[in-house]
């Protein structure tokens, strides 16, 4: 066979073969006439990048190019890819320019899209360079570990620490207007304690907030949006979630009622605690007084939905409520009767407070009860309820309040009439007196006393609005602060008058000189204590004022200055706050309050003893009323004030000796007579 013949036979096949080969190479993206260069191995890149000192300058900032060989080998990327699978622009190990910045979206497009829609992604797009990115949560791509690895940043047990790296930092969170407290709150929660103990099931941040598409709580798609919370919690608490969704609260939530509570309204958000924890809002002590009362005490639900109000008040006024406040761990609370998650209206046959179920509900604590027992009203609201029991309680209340006012008022009036008569009679038997307080000093003292009492009551009524004296005043804030300021002006006015009195009158100047403390006062105080302890038989003598009276006077002067200065600062808070740092007002508030406490206790403990409780002056020292003090008592307390004693004896109608005898014997005789 000739060569031409052979060529004619095989030529078409060769041509087809060449065409097929060329087509295959073109389909593979490779030119048919060129050879594809080999892919760089990781070892070739690490030959340089394993050097810990390898860096690169980016806009004047030194960036490390170091890659830990072992870390990359152990990472999820190192076990699947080489360096150039991500750094596709690197063609050879000897590259002059750094590789282009890679993006995780090349392989993780769905996750990147979810992140872009998230709170974090939008913050980054808005220019917030503190918002979390992929690397902040997952770590470096060169050392990235799978979520199943206990060393991974996104492993279940490490999620709280990973999120906390940003969310516990105040300077990071303040830009977005969020609190950094949530991380600490979670750590103290039942979930946080369980995770710290090694639980793989307890909820962590991503279980509630999501992973890549973390949305703001106001976003209807967010798992922590109010109406989505029951479903989110139901991921772990499925049975409870189903019970809640069937309850009156769950049905209200399903209808879009923002007033209805969801899980976090009762249990808390990050600081969720076990119901056995006394600090939990759903503990036995708090569920009635705090949690349920937030909604069921006021009248808002009554006005909007016809739900009865004052549930907390009427519960706390009952035996159950009083015993609960007293610390009882077994007494019934709201959940004991109404249930916890499966709460239904009383008209619903499933409700634990439905008429048909009350025997069983009450019987949990009161075995043997009958329907007659359960017919009684639990939330007895005497001023408002219209049932027979409440009407009876209301009339009984009115009757006894009238009886208490009439009977106890009559007793007080009876005793006061007798007491007044006896005091006047006893006072008349005391013939010899020393003028202790002239009229103008008594008027100053009366003004001081009245304004001080008003200031104490109206001031502490603001600090303790739930106290008995605040309830007794029932002034309202406008009248309270007006009365407080009027009393303050009166007190400062009488203080200024006293300053002029002691400065421009001879009696006033003598008063200050006599009140000036000396070293003898310290010695007298020590001797006085020793005498009344029985350590010495010699009783110390004092001049016109003893050490106790001097200390009280100068303490009053100091207190007046402090209270006046801080009070004026708080009254003029706007001018003061505009010219001084704002914390000056906080300091003034603290000083004003604690000085008030100190002054009030000093008056009660120190001054009232001298005036009322000292057996030598019982039932009281009448000098504040008529300015007089018996000569016998004055000689006993102020024996060194010879001038006053001599003047009193000279002014007496009796002979000095007779006055002395009367002063020394008459009080003893009268005390014995009254004692009998």
Query: In this predicted model, what pLDDT tens digit does every residue of 271-288 receive, in sequence order?
Result: 999 999 999 999 988 998
Average of pLDDT values for 536-559?
92
Q: Is 53 exposed, middle or buried (0-12, 13-18, 19+ CB in 10 A)?
A: exposed
Burial of 619 (0-12, 13-18, 19+ CB in 10 A): exposed
239 lies in some domain: no
pLDDT at residue 622 tops 80: yes
Measured CA angle at 511 (ends 632, 613), to 5 deg? 45
How many degrees, rounded to 5, is the angle at CA 360 between CA 356 and CA 361? Answer: 95
Residue 244 within a domain: no
Q: 37: pLDDT confidence band, cut at 50, 70 and 90?
A: low
- Give yes or no for residue 348 having a pLDDT over 50: yes
**Same-domain pairing of 370 and 454:** no
pLDDT of residue 344: 96
- pLDDT bracket for residue 649 (50, 70, 90): low
Supply the pLDDT for residue 500: 93
For residue 502, what are the β-bridge partners?
none
What's the CA gap between 260 and 264, in Å, rounded? Answer: 11
Residue 138: the pLDDT is 94
With 60 as the cut, is the pLDDT of residue 20 above it? no
In the predicted structure, residue 13 carries a pLDDT above the cut 80:
no
Q: Per-residue confidence at 652, pLDDT binned at 50, 70, 90?
A: low
Q: Token pair of 394, please?
A: 């209301």
Tokens at 181, concatenated:
């407290």
User: What is the predicted pLDDT for the residue at 337?
Assistant: 93
Could you give the CA distance from residue 404 to residue 418 in angstroms, rounded to a whole number? Answer: 21
pLDDT, the chain, mean:
85
The reply to whether 72 and 7 lie within a common domain is no
Same domain for 43 and 12, yes or no, is: no
Least-confidence region, from 13-27, 61-75, 424-438, 492-506: 13-27
- The pLDDT, as a whole number, for residue 626 is 87
In a domain, 190, yes or no: no
Co-location of 476 and 354 in the same domain: no
**Residue, of 618 and 207, whose pLDDT is higher:** 207
* Per-residue pLDDT, 2: 38
| CA-closest candidate to residue 143, choices 80, 85, 68, 212 | 68
Distances (CA, A) of 386 to 139, 380, 382, 389, 390: 67, 10, 8, 8, 6
Beta bridge partners of 435: 628
Same domain, yes or no, for 43 and 1? no
Residues 565 and 496 in one domain: yes
Of 502, 521, 524, 523, give the one whose Cα is nearest residue 513: 502
Q: What is the mean pLDDT of residues 490-509?
A: 93
Decide if pLDDT at 295 tops 60.
yes
Same domain, 451 and 564: yes
pLDDT over threshold 70, residue 24:
no
- The answer on 632 and 570 residing in a single domain is yes
pLDDT of residue 258: 93
Confidence of residue 218 (pLDDT cuts 50, 70, 90): very high
Alpha helices in 255-292 (DSSP H): 263-267, 286
**Mean pLDDT across the stretch 547-576?**
93
- Give the three-class secondary structure for 24: helix
pLDDT of residue 663: 37
What's the average model confidence in pLDDT over 657-667? 38
**Looking at 202-216, 236-250, 419-433, which range is the least confident one?**
419-433
List the single range of 66-70, 201-205, 270-274, 316-320 with lowest mean pLDDT: 316-320
Looking at residue 627, its pLDDT comes to 86
On the question of pLDDT at 159 being above 90, the answer is: yes
Which of 260, 269, 179, 188 shows the shortest CA–CA distance to 224?
269
Q: How confident is the model at residue 494 (pLDDT cuts 50, 70, 90)?
A: very high
- The mean per-residue pLDDT over the stretch 236-258 comes to 95
Parallel, antiparallel or unpaired: strands 55-58 and 433-435: unpaired
Residues of the chain with pLDDT > 70: what percent? 89
247 vs 92, higher pLDDT: 247
> In terms of domains, do 570 and 583 share one?
yes
Through-space distance between the first and last CA atoms of the chain, rounded to whole angstroms: 165
CA distance 300 to 336: 24
Contact (CB, 8 A) for 328 and 336: no
Q: CA angle, corner 420, sides to 415 and 423, nearest 5? A: 120
Lowest mean per-residue pLDDT among 382-386, 431-435, 591-595, 656-660: 656-660
- Number of neighbouring beta carbons within 10 Å of residue 629: 22
Task: Tell whether 334 and 320 lie within a shared domain.
Answer: yes
Looking at residue 160, its pLDDT comes to 96
pLDDT of residue 22: 43
Shared domain for 591 and 554, answered yes or no, is yes
Is 324 within the bounds of a domain? yes
CATH number at residue 620: 1.20.950.20
Nearest one of 322, 291, 324, 292 to 308, comparing CA atoms:
292
Say if residues 619 and 423 touch (Cβ distance below 8 Å). yes
Phi and psi at 629, nearest 5°, equal -140, 135
Q: Is residue 645 part of a domain?
A: yes
Residue-level pLDDT at 17: 38
Q: Residue 608 has which token pair? A: 């009232």
Q: Between the CA of residue 108 and those of 42, 104, 154, 601, what are the distances in Å?
A: 22, 6, 16, 71
* Average pLDDT for 337-362: 94
Given a cut of 80, is residue 507 above it in pLDDT?
yes
Query: What is the pTM assigned to this prediction?
Result: 0.65
Confidence of residue 5 (pLDDT cuts 50, 70, 90): very low
Q: CA–CA separation, 214 vs 116, rounded Å?
A: 10
Angle, alpha carbons 365-369-370 (nearest 5°): 150
Instruction: Give 428: exposed, middle or buried? Use CB within 10 Å, 0-12, 13-18, 19+.
Output: exposed
Q: Is residue 9 part of a domain?
A: yes
For the stretch 437-481, pLDDT in tens is 889 899 999 999 999 999 999 999 888 887 888 877 777 888 888
The answer to whether position 114 is within a domain reads no
Quick check: is 61 in a domain? no
| pLDDT tens string 298-344 | 877 878 888 888 888 888 888 898 888 888 888 999 999 999 999 99
Structural domain of 619: 430-675
Is the same domain home to 546 and 647? yes
Instruction: Band the pLDDT of 383: cuts 50, 70, 90.
Output: low
Helix (H, G, I), strand (E, B) or coil at 55: strand
Continuous segment of H or E residues that includes residue 64: strand 61-64
Which single residue is written with the structure tokens 């909820």?
A: 203
Q: Are 299 and 344 in contact (CB under 8 A)?
A: no
CA atoms within 13 Å, Cβ hemisphere of 283 = 16
Q: How many residues does the structure list for the chain? A: 676
Q: Give the integer Cα–Cα distance in Å for 581 and 573.
A: 11
What tens digit of pLDDT does each residue of 408-420 get? 999 999 999 998 8
- How many domains, the chain? 4
Contact 228, 323 (CB under 8 A): no
Peptide bond into 619 cis (omega under 30): yes
Q: Write out the two tokens for 351.
A: 């409700």
């Amino acid at each position: 066979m000739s060569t031409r013949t052979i060529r004619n036979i095989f030529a078409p096949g060769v041509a087809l073969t060449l065409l097929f080969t060329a087509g295959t190479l073109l389909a593979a993206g490779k030119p048919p006439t060129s050879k594809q260069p080999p892919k760089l191995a990781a070892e070739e890149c690490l030959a340089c990048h394993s050097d810990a000192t390898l860096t690169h300058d980016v806009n004047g900032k030194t960036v490390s190019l170091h890659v830990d060989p072992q870390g990359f080998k152990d990472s999820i990327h190192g076990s699947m890819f080489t360096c150039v699978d991500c750094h596709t622009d690197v063609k050879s190990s000897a590259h002059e320019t750094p590789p282009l910045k890679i993006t995780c979206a090349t392989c993780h497009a769905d996750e990147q899209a979810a992140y872009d829609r998230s709170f974090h992604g939008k913050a980054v797009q808005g220019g917030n360079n503190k918002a979390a990115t992929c690397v902040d949560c997952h770590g470096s791509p060169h050392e990235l570990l799978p979520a199943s690895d206990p060393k991974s940043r996104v492993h279940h047990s490490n999620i709280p620490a990973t999120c906390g790296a940003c969310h516990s930092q105040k300077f990071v969170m303040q830009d977005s207007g969020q609190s950094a407290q949530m991380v600490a709150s979670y750590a103290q929660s039942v979930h946080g304690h369980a995770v710290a103990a090694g639980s793989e099931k307890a909820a962590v941040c991503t279980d509630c907030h999501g992973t890549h598409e973390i949305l703001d709580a106001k976003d209807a798609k967010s798992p922590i949006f109010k109406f989505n919370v029951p479903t989110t919690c139901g991921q772990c608490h499925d049975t409870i979630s189903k019970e809640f969704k069937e309850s009156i609260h769950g049905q209200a939530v399903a209808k879009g009622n923002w007033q209805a509570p969801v899980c976090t309204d009762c249990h808390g958000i990050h600081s969720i605690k076990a119901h056995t924890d006394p600090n939990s809002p759903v503990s036995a002590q708090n569920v009635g007084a705090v949690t349920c009362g937030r909604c069921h005490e006021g009248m808002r639900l009554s006005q909007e939905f016809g739900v009865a109000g004052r549930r907390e008040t009427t519960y706390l006024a009952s035996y159950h409520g009083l015993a609960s406040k007293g610390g009882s761990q077994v007494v019934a609370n709201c959940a004991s009767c109404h249930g916890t998650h499966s709460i239904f209206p009383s008209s619903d046959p499933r409700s634990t407070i439905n008429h048909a179920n009350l025997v069983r509900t009450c019987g949990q604590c009161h075995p043997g009860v009958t329907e007659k027992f359960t017919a009684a009203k639990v939330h007895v609201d005497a001023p408002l309820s219209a049932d027979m029991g409440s009407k009876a309680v209301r009339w009984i209340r009115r009757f006894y309040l009238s009886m208490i006012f009439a009977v106890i008022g009559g007793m007080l009036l009876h005793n006061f009439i007798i007491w007044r008569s006896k005091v006047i009679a006893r006072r008349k038997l005391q013939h010899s007196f020393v003028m202790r307080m002239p009229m103008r000093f008594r008027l100053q003292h009366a003004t001081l006393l009245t304004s001080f009492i008003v200031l104490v009551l109206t001031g502490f009524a603001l600090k303790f609005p739930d106290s008995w004296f605040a309830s007794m005043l029932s002034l309202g804030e406008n009248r309270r602060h007006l009365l407080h300021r009027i009393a303050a002006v009166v007190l400062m006015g009488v203080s200024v008058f006293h300053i002029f009195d002691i400065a421009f009158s001879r009696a006033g100047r003598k008063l200050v000189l006599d009140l000036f403390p000396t070293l003898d006062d310290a010695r007298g105080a020590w001797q006085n204590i020793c005498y009344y302890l029985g350590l010495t038989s010699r009783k110390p003598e004092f001049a016109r004022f003893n050490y106790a009276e001097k200390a009280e006077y100068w303490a009053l002067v100091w207190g007046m200055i402090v209270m006046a200065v801080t009070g004026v600062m708080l009254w003029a808070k706007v001018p003061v706050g505009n010219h001084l740092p704002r914390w000056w007002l906080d300091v003034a508030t603290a000083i004003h309050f604690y000085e008030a406490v100190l002054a009030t206790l000093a008056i009660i403990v120190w001054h009232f003893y001298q005036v009322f409780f000292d057996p030598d002056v019982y039932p009281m020292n009448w000098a504040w009323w008529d300015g007089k003090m018996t000569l016998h008592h004055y000689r006993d307390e102020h024996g060194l004030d010879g001038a006053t004693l001599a003047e009193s004896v000279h002014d007496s109608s009796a002979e000095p000796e007779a006055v002395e005898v009367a002063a020394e014997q008459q009080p003893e005789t009268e005390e014995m007579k009254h004692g009998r």
